[in-house]
Amino acid sequence: MSRFSETLLVVALAGFSAASFAFDNYVGVGRPATPAELKAWDIDVRPDFKGLPKGSGSVDKGQELFEEKCASCHGTFGESNEVFTPLVGGTSKDDMKTGRVKGLSSGELPQRTTFTKVATISTVFDYIQRAMPWTAPKSLKPDDVYAILAYLLNLSEMVPADFVLSDQNIGDVQKLLPNRNGMTTDHGLWPGAAAKKGGIGNGGKPDTNNKACMKNCKSEVLIGSTLPEYARTAHGELAEQNRSFGPVRGTRTLGPEAAKKAADAGTLDLATKSGCMACHGLKSKIVGPGYNDVHARYKDQTDAEDRLFAKVKAGGQGVWGSIPMPPNGHLKDEDLRTLVKWVLSGAK
């Protein structure tokens, strides 16, 4: 009986797999994209300007938009290094002639800006259009993008102040880009076809040629660089970034004083994120009491931690006046416990 069923099963499986090979496409999977859908999502702009929308924008309009939407991160003149690296600077009239930014090789450039690097103006248009402004990506209309780009080109001294950038003249601007000849694909890190076979790159040939020597490979060990002292402590307490058991321990880098300070800073951050600091100051009354006053009131009470924990969790009124403290059910118990301990130890 059992042998008979196994035979049947084998026959059934063989039949099924033969049938499955008959499928040459995935029936019932996917549907054609509509023209409107393609228009909505296919927004990329290539180096040959395929995908570039029609439109135009002036330097003046661009300055207005830039100050309104971009300057808070990039600085009014695209020079800011506060949030992101600078957009403009580091290029010269000579660079525009040669298409190579001289500062990249001479070492004169303190920092690379967008226009010292980019070789394709389409890149900048595409990126502003798809990703800017930072907090409201894709909110710019094509004319806005042209205007903002025109302003950046003017800041880079590539176009005059009365310039109007458009889909018609963007190709001329490409010919002025200071680093337009600054890229090479002659390297081994492109995983596709080599340039000589119609692709780009060298087909994967590496640029280093180390040998697997095993014995007496050199006469001395040259140490080129060691960890600077500031870098040893810049990443916090390393002892707390390793397990407290096992073959090694994290090296204690900060010491107890600094560790307490770091822990306090962490808790203040937690208090801020949890919304506590909206109503309490460390040393001042805001809506609720300052934490220095809470500390003073509870400091000699042995059950203070549990009482305060319950009070903060459930909320309350009357101890510090008539303005009620709302319940804080959204906080995790462990976080609440950390915050209460912090307040009772004289929050800093």
Residues 97-116 that bind another protein (CB under 8 A): 100-102, 104-106, 112, 114
Token pair 């084998």 in the structure block, residue: 10
Nearest distance in Å: CB 271, another protein: 19
Q: Is 134 in the site for another protein (CB under 8 A)?
A: yes
What 3-state DSSP class applies to 280?
A: strand
Nearest distance in Å: CB 71, another protein: 16
Contact range with another protein by CB under 8 A, out of 57-65, 142-150, 160-168, 187-195: 187-195
Give the closest residue to 56 by CA, choosing from 167, 133, 163, 132: 167
Nearest distance in Å: CB 344, another protein: 22
Bond from prior residue into 133 cis (ω within 30 degrees of 0): yes
Q: Is 256 in the site for another protein (CB under 8 A)?
A: yes
Q: Is 232 in the site for another protein (CB under 8 A)?
A: yes
> How far is the C-alpha of 47 from the C-alpha of 175, rounded, in Å?
12
Q: Is 190 in the site for another protein (CB under 8 A)?
A: yes
* Contact (CB, 8 A) for 342 and 276: no
> How far is the C-alpha of 74 from the C-alpha of 241, rounded, in Å?
35
For residue 140 the two structure tokens come to 């710019």
Site residues (CB under 8 A) for another protein, limited to 142-171: none
DSSP 239: G
Contact pattern for another protein over residues 25 through 64, marking x by CB under 8 A: xx-xxxxxx---xx--xxxx-xxx-xx-------------
Q: Is 10 in the site for another protein (CB under 8 A)?
A: no
Nearest distance in Å: CB 89, another protein: 14
Helix (H) / strand (E) element for 56: namely: strand 56-58
Nearest distance in Å: CB 205, another protein: 10
Nearest distance in Å: CB 228, another protein: 7
Nearest distance in Å: CB 122, another protein: 6
Question: Binding residue for another protein (CB under 8 A) from 7, 76, 168, 185?
Answer: 185
| Long-range Cβ contacts of 95-103 (<8 Å, 24+ apart) | 95/178, 95/179, 96/158, 96/176, 96/177, 96/178, 98/181, 99/177, 99/178, 99/179, 99/180, 99/181, 99/182, 100/178, 100/179, 100/181, 100/182, 101/178, 101/179, 101/182
Question: Binding residue for another protein (CB under 8 A) from 137, 266, 275, 324?
Answer: 137
Q: Is 18 in the site for another protein (CB under 8 A)?
A: no
